[in-house]
């Protein structure tokens, strides 16, 4: 097995709605390995979205420790965390989260702008990525001129612009028809196989687990079980 890239040690996440405390995650111990394809599944309210936010460094634990490449990020400032996140993790969301006023090329370059990549370099990289996801002829189209599947491909290209080690996909097929969803999953699978990306996919759709190497089942804020899978 490759080295650990993300590790959660005795992690709790507690919220305080009103005068009560709500433990959304309880004593989570989880290691994700470099180059692995992991699916995190669980029903609504199980805590998987909160776990996704922690794994993606979008939030920090209430208790416990969160490591990225052996660095404890639990106590990092938000600005330092944002820089680290921008370099290390690419995000793909169910809602695509594209900017309506920008075309595909401009949407893809956004994360590189925040990382200070020069315009010529980021535009060249964005064109290559849009070619990679089969949208070479749609670079100048805005989101409302693209199908749902095409918008998600733009989102994947955007996630890759800073060449992150980790791709975190939150219900990436949730707003797509079955054919487009299959294409997106095959694309993520190819990124894992060919570019050795670490893929972490969060979903309630158990049909997607067969693309992965391991499945982490979340129930009532705790890890219920972890299973090895046979990949497609």
- Which residues make beta-bridge pairs with 13? 25
Which positions ≥6 away from 131 have C-beta within 8 Å? Answer: none
CB 218 within 8 A of CB 40: yes
Give 33-81 pLDDT, tens digit per residue: 999 999 999 988 899 989 999 999 998 999 999 999 999 998 888 888 8
Write out the E strands in the chain.
4-15, 22-33, 37-41, 63-68, 71-72, 89-93, 166-170, 198-203, 214-219, 222-228
Question: Which has more confidence, 4 or 210?
Answer: 4
CB 200 within 8 A of CB 181: no
Report d(CA 66, CA 54) in Å as an integer. Answer: 8
CB 133 within 8 A of CB 153: yes
Q: Which residue has the tokens 């294409």?
A: 183
- Whether the pLDDT of residue 2 is over 80: the answer is no
pLDDT of residue 14: 95
Please give the domain boundaries of the chain with CATH numbers for all domains: 4-228 (3.40.50.300)
pTM: 0.91
Give 103-159 pLDDT, tens digit per residue: 999 999 999 998 899 999 999 999 999 999 999 999 999 999 999 999 999 999 999
pLDDT tier, 232 (very low <50, low <70, confident <90, very high otherwise): very low
């Amino acid at each position: 097995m490759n080295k650990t890239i993300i590790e959660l040690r005795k992690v709790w996440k507690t919220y305080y709605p009103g005068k009560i405390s709500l433990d959304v995650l309880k004593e989570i111990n989880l290691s994700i390995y470099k180059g692995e394809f992991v699916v995190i599944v669980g029903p609504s309210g199980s805590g998987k979205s909160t776990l996704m936010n922690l794994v993606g460094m979008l939030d920090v634990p209430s208790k416990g420790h969160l490591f990225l490449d052996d660095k404890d990020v639990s106590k990092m400032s938000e600005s330092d965390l944002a820089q680290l996140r921008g370099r290390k993790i690419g995000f793909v969301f169910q809602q695509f989260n594209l900017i309506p006023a920008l075309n595909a090329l401009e949407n893809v370059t956004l994360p590189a702008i925040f990382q200070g990549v020069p315009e010529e370099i980021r535009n060249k990289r964005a064109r290559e990525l849009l070619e990679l996801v089969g949208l070479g002829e749609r670079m100048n189209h805005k989101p409302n001129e693209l199908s749902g599947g095409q918008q998600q491909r733009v989102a994947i290209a955007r996630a890759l612009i800073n060449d992150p080690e980790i791709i975190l996909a939150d219900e990436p097929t949730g707003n797509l028809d079955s054919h487009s969803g299959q294409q997106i999953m095959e694309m993520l699978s190819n990124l894992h196989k060919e570019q050795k990306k670490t893929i972490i996919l969060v979903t309630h759709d158990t049909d997607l687990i067969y693309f992965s190497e391991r499945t982490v089942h979340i129930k009532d804020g705790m890890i219920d079980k972890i299973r090895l899978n046979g990949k497609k």
